[in-house]
Amino acid sequence: MNQEQVLRDLMALPPEAQRLAADFIALVRLRYTQESPEERNALTGSKDASFFGMWRDHADMANSTLWTRMTRLRKWG
C-alpha cells in the first residue's frame, strides 16, 4: 500500500472516522517512539516518591488523554 492510496482512503472517510484514524496513528507513533534519557530525566520534584516512574516503560501512556480516548473507544465503541 502506498502513501497516496492511504491518503485517498483517509480523505474518503467521514470527519469523525478521520479523527479516529488520526488518533490511532498518534497512538502507534507513541508506541514506537522512544524518549531520550535527557527527556526522561527532565522531570524534577517528585523523583524520590515511591510511585515515580511506575509507567516509565509504557510508551502508550506518554499521552494519557489519547490513551484514555482509545481505551474507551475499544471498550465502548
Mean pLDDT of the region 14-25: 91
Segment holding 15, helix H or strand E: helix 15-31
Quick check: pTM over 0.85?
no
What is the CB-side half-sphere exposure of residue 32 using CA atoms within 13 A? 5
Model pLDDT, residue 16? 92
Helix, coil or strand: residue 70: helix
Contact 63, 30 (CB under 8 A): yes
Query: Could you report the per-residue pLDDT of 25-67, keeping only the tens digit for each?
Result: 988 888 888 766 666 665 555 666 777 777 777 777 778 888 8
Model pLDDT, residue 35? 65
Task: Kindly tell me the burial class for residue 34, based on how many C-beta atoms sit within 10 Å of its own C-beta (0-12, 13-18, 19 or more).
Answer: exposed
Model pLDDT, residue 4? 92
Contact 71, 64 (CB under 8 A): no
